[in-house]
């Protein structure tokens, strides 16, 4: 046996033991993913930094919204799904109406960018009802700042705004209609 | 026989030996049953494999045929390869080597025939069952319980003949290969029965089931197949080099490394089980690195003594190739274990690529080389044409290399985007299509190689049967032949 092979054996065993020390979760059957040190823990609990909400919002958009509204928010005339890109509903001064749309869904004829949509076979279900306040604020902030909506200075949708609207409509059941929403102010 | 590889038998034709190689080989002919069925299943498995990957290219092609859907054809292909080809082919080589190295005839031929029959009934029932939707849901153990019963009894019958032959050896002191042979004979029934008891008879609960499956898959691929492949390699490589093995102690180190450390590897970090299990498993993988390097060093130091310019038989191309693949495949397996790497590669195409490199690139090629050698001794016929040998080798070796490279690259790329939560999953899937297409090219080549393997084996056996029939007839027809 060459000496370097023995050295490799000892070295790999040694690093293997260090690995076990760091990753074994103290041989506790309840620990599935141990942290290595306090920094590791902090990284997990990291508060969202600037730009992160757009990243997360994009992910939510990709799983929840893009099937109907399209990857780039163009909507589709054939299914009656209105565009989000350039939509005056999305780009309104405040998120008063769109939070409600996500929370309870929307049905009934609607005019977006001069085109007529909705009121047909496909309504928008309450896709946001199961999301957290943060997820709703993320996805709406993303929609207001993506594609050609980018750089138009649309203010981010804050978690507080989502909370406030949700609190107000907590007794409402069923879809909103566009007419109903138009009576509300864009912004509180 | 006029082929150059004929001299390879010289070491066996020791004048003091009371028995000749020819006699041993003649007694080993029942093993041809195992070889022929293995070659057949190898082709069946690779065709099923192609069908299952076609579902990626043309999802609509078999959309109306449930048996051909990925969820059925893929496990059917895997199991046909593992239990149709890998295990029985390994058994044939083990038994023949036990006789050859121990200088004794094969003992218990009826057991071999019986075991072969039961085993193949089991594989047929199992594969057809999977295609009909009968699947236990445990990776590499998808066969229904009744099929597995046939397999286990069949294995025990054949292995019993192996143990009897082993016991009848002329030398008490073991040659290196014999360590591997004996361990392999016992290893499979142990892991196979244990995993069945714990998964299907008295199932353990929850996450423990996946631990058992990982343990089994690792022990079949990284222990059993490695034991069998290295038993053949340590026997053939010195033969090819016409020199003794570089170092026997190093060979023993390889052996204990596989047995002691390789057997607990295989559970990747991030597995949904208590963290200490994958951590300890990773320690096992780390500890086996030196053994893998020792195997590589030992075999390549011996191989480099071989005459580079001599004309090479099929086994002399296949076995050295497999031997070179071994350290690569095994080290990649170790690399994929620890946290960090496994976070990137888990659930990607990388792992199937590495697995294919090990079970086909190393094990499959070494075994095919050994079987070619064996078949040419048990059923001696002329060596295949050079063009045939070339295509056969390019098919098997080229195919597995292309397959591996395509899926490994695809897997790394896939792992990168999969960890980016902003990329929707469907886009990840679409991104790998190009690599999957490339890998299908490799699969086609492997099918070609496997077909030629089958062809060679069947032709040799048929020609041999014809010749023996003719000589038998000639002998018995002599009195009547006076007329001429």
Distances (CA, A) of A38 to A41, A48, B275: 5, 18, 18
Whether residue A5 and residue B339 make contact (CB cut-off 8 A), yes or no, is no
Cα separation values, B473 from B232, B480, B481, Å? 37, 11, 11
Where chain A has pLDDT below 70, the residues are 36, 42-50, 120-121
**CB-closest option in A13, A17, A33 to B275:** A33
Domains belonging to chain A, first-starting first, are 3-44 (no CATH), 52-182 (1.10.760.10)
Window 271-290 of B: residues touching A by CB (8 A cutoff) are: 272-276, 278-280, 282-283, 285-287, 289-290
CB B257 within 8 A of CB A1: no
Tell me which residue of B78, B159, B64 sits closest to B126, measured CA to CA. Answer: B78
Q: Which of B280, B421, B423 sits opposite A24 (nearest CB)?
A: B280
* Tokens, residue A20: 């076990």
Q: What's the pLDDT score for residue B224?
A: 98
Write the CB contacts of A107 (distance below 8 Å, at least 6 apart in sequence). Answer: A118, A119, A123, A124, A175, A176, A177
Q: Please list the ranges in chain B whose pLDDT falls under 50.
A: 1-8, 10-11, 13-15, 484
Question: What is the rounded CA–CA span in Å between residue A143 and residue A165?
Answer: 18
Q: Return the pLDDT at B233.
A: 97
The per-residue pLDDT for B63 is 77
- How many degrees, rounded to 5, is the angle at CA A106 between CA A100 and CA A112? 95
Here the ipTM equals 0.85
Say yes or no: B250 contacts chain A, CB-CB below 8 A: yes
Rounded distance between C-alpha atoms, residue B77 and residue A97, angstroms = 55
Q: Is B141 exposed, middle or buried (0-12, 13-18, 19+ CB in 10 A)?
A: buried
- Substitution target from A3, A9, A139 for chain B, most B beta carbons within 10 A: A9
Cα-trace Rg, chain A: 24
Residues 6+ apart with CB under 8 A from B442: B398, B399, B400, B401, B402, B403, B404, B406
Using N-to-C axis directions, what is the helix angle for B433-477 and B386-393, rounded to 10°?
140
Cβ(B67)–Cβ(B131) under 8 Å? Answer: yes
- B332 within 8 A of B351, measured Cβ to Cβ: no
Nearest neighbour of B293 by CB, restricted to A5, A23, A29:
A5
Residue A130: predicted pLDDT: 85
A window 70-99, beta carbon within 8 A of B: none
* The two three-digit tokens of residue B475, written as one number: 């002998």
Which residue is closest to A10 within chain B, CA to CA?
Answer: B287
* Bridge partners for A81 per DSSP: A76
d(CA B365, CA B439): 18
Task: Please give the Cα distance from B268 to B258 (Å, whole number).
Answer: 18
Confidence at residue A128, expressed as pLDDT on a 0 to 100 scale: 83
The C-alpha atoms of residue B372 and residue B90 are separated, in whole angstroms, by: 13
Distance CA(B139)–CA(B93), nearest Å, equals 26
Contact A6 B290 (CB under 8 A): yes
**What are the tokens at A64?**
């929840």
B298: chain A residues, CB-CB within 8 Å: none
pLDDT digits (tens, 9 = 90+) for A7-32: 999 999 999 999 998 888 888 888 88
Best residue of B206, B211, B252, B275 to probe chain A, by most A CBs closer than 10 Å: B275
| Cβ within 8 Å, pair B422-A63 | no
Looking at chain B, which residue has its C-alpha nearest residue A24? B276
With an 8 Å Cβ cutoff, is B341 touching chain A? no
Q: Are B446 and B396 in contact (CB under 8 A)?
A: yes
Query: Strand, helix or coil at B218?
Result: helix
- Which residues, 6 or more positions from A11, have their beta carbon under 8 angstroms from its beta carbon? none
Contact A101, A172 (CB under 8 A): no
| Alpha-carbon gap: B291 to the closest alpha carbon of chain A (Å) | 8
Flag whether residue B417 sits within 8 Å of chain A, measured between CB atoms: no
Residues 6+ apart with CB under 8 A from B462: none
* C-beta separation of B51 from B73 below 8 A: yes
- Reduce the DSSP state of residue A112 to 3 states and report it: strand
Query: Could you give the CA distance from residue B69 to residue B55 in angstroms, rounded to a whole number?
Result: 7
This prediction has a pTM of 0.74
Residues of chain A neighbouring B429 (CB-CB closer than 8 A): none
Residue A117 has φ and ψ, to the nearest 5°, of -135, 180
A136 to chain B, closest Cα gap in Å? 16
Q: Which residues of A touch B270 (CB under 8 A)?
A: 33
Nearest CB to A20: which of B283, B289, B421? B283
pLDDT at B6: 37
Residues of A in contact with B278 (CB under 8 A): 23
Q: Is the CB of B250 less than 8 angstroms away from the CB of A1?
A: yes
Q: What is the pLDDT of residues B221-274, one digit of tens each?
A: 999 999 999 999 999 999 999 999 999 999 999 999 999 999 999 898 888 888
Give every CB contact of residue A172 below 8 A, 6+ residues apart in sequence.
A104
């Amino acid at each position: 046996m060459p000496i370097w092979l023995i050295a490799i054996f000892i070295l790999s065993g040694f690093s293997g033991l260090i690995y076990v020390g760091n990753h074994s979760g103290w041989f506790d059957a309840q620990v599935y993913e141990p942290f290595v040190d306090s920094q590791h823990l902090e990284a997990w609990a990291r508060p969202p930094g600037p730009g992160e909400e757009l990243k997360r919002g994009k992910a939510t958009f990709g799983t929840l919204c893009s099937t109907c509204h399209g990857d780039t928010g163009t909507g589709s005339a054939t299914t009656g799904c209105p565009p989000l890109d350039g939509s005056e509903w999305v780009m309104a001064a405040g998120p008063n109406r769109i939070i409600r749309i996500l929370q309870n869904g929307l049905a009934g004829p609607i005019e977006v960018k001069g085109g007529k949509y909705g009121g047909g076979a496909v309504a928008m279900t309450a896709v946001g009802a199961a999301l957290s306040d943060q997820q709703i604020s993320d996805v709406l902030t993303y929609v207001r700042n993506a594609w050609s909506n980018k750089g138009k200075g649309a203010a981010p949708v804050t978690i507080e705004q989502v909370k406030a609207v949700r609190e107000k409509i907590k007794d409402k059941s069923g879809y909103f209609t566009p007419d109903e929403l138009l009576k509300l102010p864009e912004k509180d | 026989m006029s082929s150059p590889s004929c001299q390879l038998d010289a070491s066996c034709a020791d004048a003091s030996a009371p028995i000749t190689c020819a006699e041993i080989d003649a007694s080993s002919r029942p093993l041809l049953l195992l070889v022929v069925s293995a070659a057949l299943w190898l082709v069946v498995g690779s065709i099923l494999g192609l069908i299952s990957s076609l579902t990626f290219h043309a999802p609509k092609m078999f959309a109306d045929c449930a048996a051909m859907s990925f969820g059925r054809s893929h496990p059917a292909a895997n199991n046909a390869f593992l239990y149709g080809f890998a295990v029985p082919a390994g058994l044939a080589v083990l038994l023949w080597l036990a006789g050859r190295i121990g200088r004794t005839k094969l003992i218990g031929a009826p057991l071999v025939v019986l075991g072969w029959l039961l085993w193949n009934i089991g594989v047929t029932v199992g594969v057809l069952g999977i295609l009909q939707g009968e699947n236990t849901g445990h990776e590499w153990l998808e066969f229904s319980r009744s099929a597995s019963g046939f397999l286990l009894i069949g294995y025990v019958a054949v292995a019993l003949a192996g143990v009897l032959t082993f016991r009848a050896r002329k030398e008490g002191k073991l040659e290196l290969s014999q360590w591997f042979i004996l361990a392999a004979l016992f290893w499979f029934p142990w892991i196979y029965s244990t995993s069945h008891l714990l998964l299907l008879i008295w199932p353990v609960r929850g996450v423990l089931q996946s631990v058992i499956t990982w343990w089994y898959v690792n022990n079949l691929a990284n222990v059993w197949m490695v034991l069998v492949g290295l038993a053949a390699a340590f026997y053939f490589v010195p033969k090819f080099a016409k020199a003794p093995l570089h170092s026997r102690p190093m060979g023993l180190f390889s052996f204990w490394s596989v047995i002691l450390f390789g057997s607990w590897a295989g559970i990747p970090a991030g597995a949904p089980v208590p963290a200490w299990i994958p951590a300890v498993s990773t320690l096992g993988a780390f500890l086996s690195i030196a053994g893998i390097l020792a195997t590589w060093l030992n075999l390549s130091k011996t191989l480099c003594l071989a005459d580079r310019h001599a004309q090479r038989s099929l086994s002399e191309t296949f076995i050295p190739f497999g031997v070179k693949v071994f350290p690569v495949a095994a080290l990649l397996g170790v690399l994929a274990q620890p946290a960090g790497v496994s976070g990137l590669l888990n659930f990607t195409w990388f792992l199937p690529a590495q697995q294919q490199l090990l079970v086909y690139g190393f094990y499959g090629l070494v075994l095919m080389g050994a079987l070619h050698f064996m078949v040419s001794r048990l059923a001696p016929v002329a060596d295949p044409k050079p063009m045939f040998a070339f295509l056969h080798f390019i098919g098997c070796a080229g195919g597995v290399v292309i397959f591996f490279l395509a899926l490994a690259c695809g897997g790394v790329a896939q792992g990168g985007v999969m960890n980016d939560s902003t990329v929707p999953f469907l886009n990840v899937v679409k991104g790998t299509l190009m690599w999957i297409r490339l890998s299908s090219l490799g699969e086609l080549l492997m099918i070609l190689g496997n077909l030629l393997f089958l062809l060679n084996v069947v032709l040799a056996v048929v020609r041999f049967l014809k010749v023996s029939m003719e000589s038998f007839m000639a002998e018995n027809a002599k009195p009547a032949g006076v007329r001429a």
